[in-house]
Structure 1
Amino acid sequence: MDPLFAPPAESWHPVSTKLRTLHRLLFVVWTLVIAIVVAAVVALVLQWWWLVALIVFAATVVIVWGWLWSARNQAAWGYAENAEDLWIRHGVAWRQIVAVPYGRVQYVDVAAGPLERSYGIATVSLHTASSQTSAVIPGVPADEATRLRDRLTELGKTRGSGI
């Protein structure tokens, strides 16, 4: 592993693989919906069957790319806790690592839409006084999200300048 992105603690905690499954589901559904609508319009209005075949081929390529992307995207997300900070990493091509000192945390959000809840995952967001801080962890298992929320809230209180 690149030392620049080495974990500050013993190791990175990965996000749930259910995030990958959810991304794949959404990618396939939206690509198929768009491809079917466009292909139907082309077939009914223009009757250019070669263009319909091209749309089907393009949709297949996009679905394969999205399938591979979702696996790499999910694997790139991780977080690590040490005594003073929460570290979050993400990104495949443009990797990013964010360290949020516990004392700077003002509040912690846990959000889960209907699909996320059905997969048992949530998104944990840390809010600080800085609008520049991008501290979001998607795909955290629901019980771990609750534990992380409670821990970060408590650490924010005890470190002084936070919550």
Structure 2
Amino acid sequence: MAENITELIGRVALRDRSAFRALYAATSAKLFGVCLRILRDRAEAEDALQEIFVRIWNNADRFTASDTSPMSWLIAVARNHAIDRIRARKPQAVDIDEAVGIADDAPSPEQEAVATDERSRIQACLETLDAARADAVRGAYMEGYSYQELADRHGIPVNTMRTWLRRSLMKLKECLTQ
């Protein structure tokens, strides 16, 4: 098979179209697999394969049978082309001076300090509630449980759970305003 591919590449170098078709039929599946493995996108691998065969058509005269096996040469052409496509995807580096105006979405140290203080105040107020009611408040407002889920978890009617939550929020509001 290697001799056959070597012969086909030699004929492609002489611009033999039937040899090119035969080379494509014999090697395209393998080269497509190489492209797909590197590019990880079927459509892009198909486009790359077409470009690779254009390169093979234009550069077949550069292949020398004594240097390497024909499949190794073809795979190297495919691999290098696929890697070039990946490199071309990457955005160009931006000058650091242009990045000065980009806002940082992270909270400032002052905002972090205020948030930490608020969390500790809320936690302290939650601790003043009955344990079951504090658990219900955490479940409803921090974990997203529904009234029904909380009522089932605590073994009480839904309307009782609503009352618990309403009264607990009033106590929390009073605690936080002190």
TM range (shorter): under 0.3
For normalisation by structure 1, the TM-score amounts to: 0.23
- Which has the larger strand fraction? 1
Give the number of the structure with larger relative contact order, counting CA–CA contacts within 8 Å between residues 6 or more apart. 1
Q: Normalised by the size of structure 2, how large is the TM-score?
A: 0.22
